[in-house]
């Protein structure tokens, strides 16, 4: 199987790429696949040229072919102005209109604050529904404070299990999530914050 990861992070290192890599590793652990990462930062000029002249450059064409031939897709964007980045959207604008039809897609995003977490539902999910992709139920958003905190690893595992099940053709089977997310009562969380003594 082929798993393609589309990362729209702009910086190096990039939290967007870090999230993409974690999602890819968790998915490949469940559904062994050849993983290919498409870094949109490296294709920015070719994407712009494709938008203006209608012809993809060599590297962009290879990325488009990889996405079209993939058995599953992980897409991760940083949040800009409460939505996906322009570079991210432009890449999907230059894909063939049928490239994602019926393809399992895991959506994810990164941002500086949890206030932007709804980008998954108001921007990414509608975009991929329009492209006729099959979007997994669990999207993953990682704010700056989520790295190293409880919850993010469990969301990554759950989303990866859902994508792996779709890629393996086991959509009817309920995917098992290892280390299932345990809900800690709020009173216990508050008690843990009180200083000892």
pTM: 0.83
Cα torsion through 38, 169, 97, 20, rounded to 10: -20
Say if residues 112 and 143 touch (Cβ distance below 8 Å). yes
Per-residue pLDDT of the chain (197 residues; tens, 9 = 90+): 999 999 999 888 889 999 999 999 999 999 999 999 999 999 999 999 999 998 999 999 999 999 999 999 999 999 988 899 999 999 999 999 999 999 999 999 999 888 888 899 999 999 999 999 999 999 999 998 888 778 899 999 999 999 999 998 843 344 444 445 567 777 777 777 877 65
């Amino acid at each position: 199987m082929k798993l393609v990861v589309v990362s729209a992070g702009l910086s190096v290192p990039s939290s967007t790429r870090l999230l993409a890599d974690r999602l890819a590793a968790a998915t490949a652990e469940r559904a062994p696949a050849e993983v290919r990462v498409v870094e949109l930062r490296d294709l920015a000029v070719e994407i712009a040229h494709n938008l203006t002249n209608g012809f993809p450059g060599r590297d962009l064409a290879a990325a488009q072919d990889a996405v079209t031939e993939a058995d599953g897709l992980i897409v991760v964007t940083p949040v800009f102005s409460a939505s996906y980045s322009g570079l991210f959207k432009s890449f999907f604008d230059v894909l063939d209109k049928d490239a994602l039809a019926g393809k399992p897609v895991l959506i994810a995003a990164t941002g500086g604050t949890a206030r932007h977490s709804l980008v998954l539902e108001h921007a990414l999910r509608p975009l991929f529904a329009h492209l006729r992709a099959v979007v997994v139920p669990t999207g993953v958003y990682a704010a700056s404070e989520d790295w190293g905190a409880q919850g993010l690893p469990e969301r990554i595992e759950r989303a990866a299990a859902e994508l792996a099940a779709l890629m393996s053709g086991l959509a009817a089977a309920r995917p098992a999530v290892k280390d299932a997310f345990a809900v800690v009562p709020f009173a216990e969380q508050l008690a843990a914050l009180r200083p000892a003594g």
